C-alpha cells in the first residue's frame, strides 16, 4: 500500500463534514448531476484548497459576477488549459513555501474541475503535460458526455448511439457513431500514482477517492460520471437512478488504479440489461434493437477487460 | 557602477531575469528565443537561481502556467516568438484583464506562412489590442535594463509587460553589457506582494463570467489601468536614471530639434537608421529619427512633442496589415496625428520582413522618398519596400 494512504480514514455518514464549500444559489439546471460531485469533492477536501475550473457548465453556473459559489479560492482561465493553470499554482506554492513567503507546513489541495470536452478533446495535451511533469494536483473530470454549456454537442466522451446536436439521430446516421474514448486508461498510461472512477450516486465512495487523492503526492485523476438531465433528456428526479444504473449495468464501472495496481470497487456479477439504463434517457430513444445489442455486447467486453486487468495487476 | 562584460544578449537577458529573483519560469522552445530559456533552466539546474522551471508541452501551457503562478503571488517569467506567441493568443487577453504582473520577452520573428525563423515585428503586432504594456529594445544594454524595469512596472501597475527584442539581430549578438548590482536592484525592485491572490486564508474568485451588465465596466477598468501605467513607467525610468545614469524615454529622438524630414522606427534597426541620418546630415540635410520604445500605452503626448516641426514623416513598419490603411505603426501614427494639430505628410514603408536586410542605403532611399512626399502626395497608403520585381 502507498505510504500516504496508511493515514487514510474513510468518510462515513457519521463523520461526514457538515461544512459546505460550494454555496447554494448557483445557476445549474434542476437536478444537475455535474454540480453535485463538485460539492461532494470540496466537502472531502476542506477549506485548504485552491480550485481551478475549465470553461463549461460549472464555471458558468457558479460565477455570475458579483456572485460566486466558491468558498475556496477559485480561478477560471480558459477552456482547455486548467491542467496548466493548476501546474502554475502548484509550482508557485512550492517555491513560495521554500522561500518562506507561504507557510511551509500548510498543505494546500490543488484541484481541477473540467468537463469531458475540456478533458477528452481540447485539453488532452494540457492534461497529459501536467501528468507527465508530475505536479501534485487532483484533476477531476466531470464527464457529462457532451459539450453541455454550448448546447449539447458531441465530444469524444459521448457514448455510442447517443443523440447530440452534432451527432443527431438522423434518418441515415443514428446518433454518435464512435465508441467512447477510454480516458482513464489513457491517464493510467502516464503511470501516475492514482486514477479512479467515481459516481455521485455512490457519494461516500466518491468522497473517499477525493480524500485519497488529496493524501497522495503527485498527480491524481478522478473520472466522475456526471448526469446532465438537460442534455441527456432524463427527468431531474431520475438523475441518481440513472447514475446508479450506469454502475449496475456495467456501463460505468467503479475502479481505482493505485501505482498501476487495479481495484474493482464494485463487482457487478449480475448486471442489469443496458436497456434499462438507456430507456430512461431521451438521447437514446431512437436506438434500434441491433444498436442496443451492440452496446450490450461492447459494454460486457469492456467490463471483462477491466476484470482481467484487476486479475493481472491486483492491489496487494 | 558595475563594469561592462561582453555577453550574448539572450544570455544577458536571462541573467537579468535571474537577478530579479523570479519564482516560476515556464516556457516552450522556439527560435530565436531558445537561448534565453535554456540559460535560465541551466541556472536553475545549477542551483544558482531558486525558482521552479516548468518545462511545458506548448506555449499556450507556458502562459497558462504563468497565469496560475502569478495569480498565486509568484514572480514569473516566460519568453516566446512568432508561432509560439500566436499559440498563446487567447491567454494574452486574459492575463491583462486579470491584472497579472507577468513579464514576457518576445524574440520578434515573422509569422507563418510562409514559415520563417527570421526577424520582423509581425508576431507582436498581432497583440496590439491585448492590453499588455509593450516595450521595444534597441540594443543589448537596453534589453537588460528593460527587464529590471519591466518587473517594477508590471508589479506596480498589476499589468503584464512584454519586452520585445529583435530575433537574431539583437538576441544573438554579443554586446558589452553593464548589469545593475544586486544591492541596487533590491532598492529598485522591492519583493512582490500581491494583495489579491489565490490563498486559502482569504478565498477570492478570479475569472468570473462577465455578463453584459458588467463586461463593459470590466473593460473600462482595464483600460484605465493601462492608461494609469504611463506615469508609473515614466517614474520607473526616472528612478532608474537616478540609480544608474542611464536615461530612458517613451520616444527616443535623434537630431529631431531642427529636422524637417524624419523617419520613425521601432527596435534594433534604429541603429542602422542613425547611420543614414549621420550621412545625410553631413550632406546638410535636416533629417532626424524617432524611435518608439514604448508602444503600449501609446505615447501620444511624447510622440506629438517629439515630431517637432517635421513636414514629412516616413514610418517604417516591420509587419503587414494586409490591405488596410497602412502598416500597424503607420495606422496608429496617422490616427495619433489626427488628434493633434500637426499635419506632416506621412509615408508608410513596410520593410525588413523576415530578416531582409535594411541597409544604410535603404534608409537613405526612404528619406529621399519622404522628401519627395513634400512635393507630391504618395499614391498609396503604404508600400511594401524593396520587393524584387
Ligand atoms: C477555445 C475555445 N473553444 C470553444 C469554446 C466554447 N466552449 C465553451 S464551454 C464548451 C463546452 C464545454 O464542454 P465540457 O468541457 O464537456 O463541459 P460541460 O459544459 O459539458 O460541463 C465549449 C465548446 C471556448 N470557450 N474556447
Ligand atoms: S446543462 Fe447539464 S451539466 Fe449543465 S447545468 Fe444543466 S444539467 Fe448541469
Ligand atoms: Mg461535458
Return the number of CB contacts < 8 Å for A and B. 164
- pLDDT band at residue B382 using 50, 70 and 90 as cut-offs: very high
CA–CA separation, B318 and B351 (whole Å): 6
What is the pLDDT, as a whole number, of residue A7? 84
**Contact residues, chain A, for B214 at CB < 8 Å:** 65-66
Mean confidence (pLDDT) of chain B: 97
Distances in Å between the Cα of B203 and the Cα atoms of A46, A111, B303 are: 12, 14, 44
DSSP state of A179: P
What is the pLDDT, as a whole number, of residue A1? 78
Mean pLDDT of B256-268: 97
Of B60, B67, B200, the CB nearest to A47: B200
Q: Residue B381: which of B373, A17, B389 has the closest Cα?
A: B373
**Contact residues, chain B, for A128 at CB < 8 Å:** 57
Domain span at residue A183? 3-312
Closest Cα in chain A, distance from residue B187 (Å): 19
The protein residue with its alpha carbon nearest to ligand 1, atom 7, reads A150
- Decide: helix, strand or coil at residue A74: strand
Rounded to two decimals, the ipTM of the complex is 0.98
Q: Residue B57: which of A119, A124, A183, A117 has the closest Cα?
A: A124
CA–CA separation, B62 and A101 (whole Å): 23
Mean confidence (pLDDT) of chain A: 97
The protein residue with its alpha carbon nearest to ligand 2, atom 6, reads A29
Q: Is residue A184 predicted with pLDDT exceeding 90?
A: yes
How large is the greatest C-alpha to C-alpha distance in chain A, in angstroms?
65
What's the CATH code of the domain at A305?
Answer: 3.40.50.970
Check CB contact of B97 with chain A, cutoff 8 Å.
Answer: no
> What is the count of structural domains for chain A?
1
Judged by CB atoms closer than 8 Å, whether chains meet at A108 and B210 is answered as no
CA–CA separation, B92 and B88 (whole Å): 7
What is the pLDDT, as a whole number, of residue A121? 98
Give φ, ψ of B165 to 5 degrees: -125, 130
Q: Is residue B316 predicted with pLDDT exceeding 70?
A: yes
- What does the pLDDT look like over B207-233, one tens digit per residue? 999 999 999 999 999 999 999 999 999
The contacts found for B382-387 with CB under 8 angstroms, 24 or more apart, are B382/B317, B382/B325, B382/B326, B382/B327, B382/B330, B382/B348, B382/B349, B382/B350, B383/B347, B383/B348, B383/B349, B383/B350, B384/B320, B384/B350, B384/B353, B385/B349, B385/B350, B385/B351, B386/B351, B386/B356, B386/B358, B386/B362
What is the pLDDT, as a whole number, of residue B221? 98
Contact B122, B320 (CB under 8 A): yes
DSSP state of A68: -
Contact B15, B147 (CB under 8 A): no
What is the pLDDT, as a whole number, of residue A316? 75
Contact B214, B221 (CB under 8 A): no
**Contact residues, chain B, for A80 at CB < 8 Å:** 60
- Decide: helix, strand or coil at residue B230: helix
Domains and CATH numbers, chain B: 4-244 (3.40.50.970), 251-384 (3.40.50.920)
> Locate cell 492514482: which residue?
A194
- pLDDT band at residue B389 using 50, 70 and 90 as cut-offs: confident
- What does the pLDDT look like over A34-70, one tens digit per residue? 999 999 999 999 999 999 999 999 999 999 989 999 9
> Locate cell 466558491: which residue?
A70
CA–CA separation, B291 and A244 (whole Å): 68
- Give this prediction's pTM: 0.98
Beta bridge partners of A255: A264
Neighbour order of strands in the sheet with B294-296: B52-55, B24-27, B76-80, B103-108, B161-166, B133-136, B294-296
Phi/psi class of residue A100: alpha, beta or left (left: φ > 0; alpha: ψ in -120 to 50)?
left
Contact B71, A51 (CB under 8 A): no
Beta bridge partners of B288: B262
Contact residues of ligand 2, CB 6 A cut-off: A 28-29, 32, 34-35, 57, 61, 144, 148, 228-231
- What does the pLDDT look like over A239-269, one tens digit per residue? 999 999 999 999 999 999 999 999 999 999 9
Judged by CB atoms closer than 8 Å, whether chains meet at A71 and B203 is answered as yes
End-to-end CA distance of chain A, in Å? 7
CA–CA separation, B145 and A277 (whole Å): 66
Q: Percentage of chain A surpassing pLDDT 90?
A: 98
**Contact residues, chain A, for B57 at CB < 8 Å:** 125-126, 128-129, 132
Judged by CB atoms closer than 8 Å, whether chains meet at A88 and B209 is answered as no
Of B54, B74, B191, the CB nearest to A133: B54
Judged by CB atoms closer than 8 Å, whether chains meet at B200 and A73 is answered as yes
CA–CA separation, A4 and B139 (whole Å): 53
Q: Is residue B1 predicted with pLDDT exceeding 70?
A: no
Amino acid at each position: 500500500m502507498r505510504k500516504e494512504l496508511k493515514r487514510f480514514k474513510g468518510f462515513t455518514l457519521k463523520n461526514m463534514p457538515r461544512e459546505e464549500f460550494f454555496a447554494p444559489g448557483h445557476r445549474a439546471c434542476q437536478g444537475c448531476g455535474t454540480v453535485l460531485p463538485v460539492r461532494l469533492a470540496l466537502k472531502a477536501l476542506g477549506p485548504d484548497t485552491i480550485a481551478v475550473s475549465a470553461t463549461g457548465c460549472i464555471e458558468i453556473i457558479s460565477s455570475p459576477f458579483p456572485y460566486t459559489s466558491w468558498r475556496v479560492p477559485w480561478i477560471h482561465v480558459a477552456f482547455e488549459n486548467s491542467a496548466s493553470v493548476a501546474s502554475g499554482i502548484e509550482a508557485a506554492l512550492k517555491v513560495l513555501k521554500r522561500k518562506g513567503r507561504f507557510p511551509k507546513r500548510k498543505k494546500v489541495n490543488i484541484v481541477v474541475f473540467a468537463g469531458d470536452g475540456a478533458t477528452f478533446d481540447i485539453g488532452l495535451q494540457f492534461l497529459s503535460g501536467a501528468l507527465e511533469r508530475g505536479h501534485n494536483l487532483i484533476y477531476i473530470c466531470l464527464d457529462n458526455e457532451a459539450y453541455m454549456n454550448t448546447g449539447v454537442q458531441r465530444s469524444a466522451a459521448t457514448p455510442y448511439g447517443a443523440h447530440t446536436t452534432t451527432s443527431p439521430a438522423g434518418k441515415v446516421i443514428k446518433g454518435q457513431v464512435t465508441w467512447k474514448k477510454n480516458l482513464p486508461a489513457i491517464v493510467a498510461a502516464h503511470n501516475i500514482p492514482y486514477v479512479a472512477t467515481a459516481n455521485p450516486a455512490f457519494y461516500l465512495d466518491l468522497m473517499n477517492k477525493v480524500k485519497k487523492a488529496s493524501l497522495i503526492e503527485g498527480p491524481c485523476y478522478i473520472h466522475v460520471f456526471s448526469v446532465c438531465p438537460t442534455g441527456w433528456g432524463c427527468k431531474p428526479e431520475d438523475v441518481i437512478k440513472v447514475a446508479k444504473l450506469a454502475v449496475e449495468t456495467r456501463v460505468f464501472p467503479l475502479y481505482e488504479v493505485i501505482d498501476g495496481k487495479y481495484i474493482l470497487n464494485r463487482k457487478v456479477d449480475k448486471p442489469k440489461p443496458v436497456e434499462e439504463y438507456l430507456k430512461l434517457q431521451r438521447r437514446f430513444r431512437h436506438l434500434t434493437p441491433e444498436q442496443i445489442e451492440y452496446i450490450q455486447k461492447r459494454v460486457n467486453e469492456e467490463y471483462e477487460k477491466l476484470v482481467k486487468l484487476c486479475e493481472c495487476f491486483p492491489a496487494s | 557602477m558595475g563594469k561592462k562584460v561582453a555577453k550574448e544578449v539572450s544570455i544577458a537577458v536571462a541573467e537579468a531575469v535571474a537577478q530579479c529573483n523570479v519564482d516560476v519560469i515556464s516556457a516552450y522552445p522556439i527560435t530565436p528565443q531558445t537561448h534565453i530559456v535554456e540559460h535560465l533552466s541551466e541556472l536553475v539546474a545549477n542551483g544558482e537561481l531558486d525558482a521552479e522551471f516548468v518545462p511545458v508541452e506548448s506555449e499556450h501551457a507556458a502562459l497558462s502556467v504563468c497565469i496560475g503562478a502569478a495569480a498565486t503571488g509568484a514572480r514569473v517569467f516566460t519568453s516566446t516568438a512568432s508561432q509560439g506567441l500566436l499559440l498563446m493568443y487567447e491567454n494574452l487577453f486574459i492575463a491583462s484583464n486579470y491584472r497579472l504582473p507577468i513579464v514576457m520577452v518576445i524574440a520578434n520573428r515573422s509569422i507563418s506562412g510562409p514559415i520563417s525563423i527570421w526577424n520582423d515585428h509581425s508576431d507582436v503586432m498581432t497583440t496590439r489590442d491585448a492590453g499588455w504594456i509593450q516595450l521595444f529594445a534597441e540594443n543589448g544594454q537596453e534589453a537588460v535594463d528593460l527587464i529590471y524595469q519591466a518587473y517594477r512596472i508590471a508589479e506596480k501597475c498589476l499589468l503584464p509587460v512584454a519586452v520585445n527584442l529583435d530575433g537574431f539581430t539583437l538576441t544573438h549578438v554579443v554586446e558589452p553589457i553593464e548589469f545593475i548590482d544586486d544591492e541596487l536592484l533590491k532598492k529598485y525592485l522591492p519583493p512582490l506582494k500581491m494583495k489579491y491572490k489565490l490563498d486559502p486564508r482569504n478565498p477570492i474568485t478570479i475569472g468570473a463570467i462577465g455578463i453584459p451588465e458588467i463586461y463593459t465596466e470590466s473593460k473600462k477598468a482595464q483600460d484605465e489601468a493601462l492608461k494609469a501605467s504611463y506615469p508609473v513607467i515614466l517614474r520607473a525610468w526616472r528612478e532608474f536614471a537616478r540609480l544608474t545614469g542611464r536615461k530612458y524615454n517613451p520616444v527616443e529622438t535623434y537630431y529631431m530639434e531642427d529636422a524637417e524630414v524624419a523617419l520613425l522606427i521601432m527596435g534594433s534597426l534604429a541603429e542602422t537608421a542613425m547611420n543614414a541620418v549621420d550621412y545625410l546630415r553631413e550632406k546638410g540635410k535636416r533629417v532626424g529619427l524617432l524611435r518608439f520604445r514604448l508602444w503600449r500605452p501609446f505615447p501620444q503626448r511624447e510622440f506629438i512633442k517629439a515630431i517637432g516641426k517635421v513636414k514629412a514623416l516616413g514610418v517604417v513598419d516591420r509587419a503587414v496589415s494586409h490591405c488596410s490603411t497602412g502598416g500597424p505603426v503607420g495606422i496608429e501614427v496617422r490616427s495619433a496625428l489626427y488628434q493633434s494639430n500637426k499635419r506632416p505628410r506621412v509615408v508608410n514603408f513596410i520593410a525588413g520582413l523576415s530578416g531582409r536586410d535594411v541597409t544604410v542605403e535603404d534608409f537613405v532611399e526612404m528619406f529621399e522618398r519622404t522628401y519627395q512626399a513634400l512635393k507630391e502626395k504618395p499614391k498609396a497608403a503604404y508600400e511594401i519596400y524593396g520587393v524584387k520585381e
